[in-house]
Amino acid sequence: MPETLPDHVPSPRTLLVWDGTRYRAVRGHTDGTLQVRGEDQLFSYDTYMAEISVGIVSGADGTYDSPAVPAGSVWKVTHVGARDATSPTTGYVFMSSIAAVDRGFASIIQAIPAATWLFVPCEVYLPATAFIRVWFQGSLLGDGVAVSLHGYQMTLET
């Protein structure tokens, strides 16, 4: 690895980082904190995220979607909950919907009384425009349902 330094090093105590070509001075913010890209962090955390959406199931034995992740955000979902407030159901299937592809990550198949919240732990990363879809097995047309997401929004750039 060549020992190429930046064109100007402000002080002998300046932190240097190897960028693959040469050493560069590490950048900082005016408050003295280190500037890093989100993907360079061991743990990326921006803020707590809790979303609850309430609506009507898509039809008998239908689905309901959580709000989509806004542009410029990435969510890490750690718990998902679902509830059919109107009718008893026979199960919930939890799916992440990313780029119009649904991928199941958890299910609860059992008799579920009406208005009962059930939660599953998970580790689902959702990029912008993605969402969680819940399939309410045994639901009826017009049932009032809810989907709850808990987790955190990741830091993209600091």
Ordered by where they begin, the domains of the chain are 1-35 (no CATH), 47-153 (2.60.120.260)
Per-residue pLDDT tens digits of the chain, which is 158 residues long: 455 655 665 566 666 767 677 776 666 666 766 666 555 566 678 899 999 999 999 999 999 999 999 998 999 999 999 999 999 999 999 999 999 999 999 999 999 999 999 999 999 999 999 999 999 999 999 999 999 999 999 877 65
DSSP string computed for 5-61: PPS----TT--EEE-SSSEEEPPB-TTSPBP-BGGG-SS---EEEEEEEEEE-SSTT
Distance between CA atoms of residues 97 and 27, nearest Å: 37
Q: pTM (2 decimals)?
A: 0.74
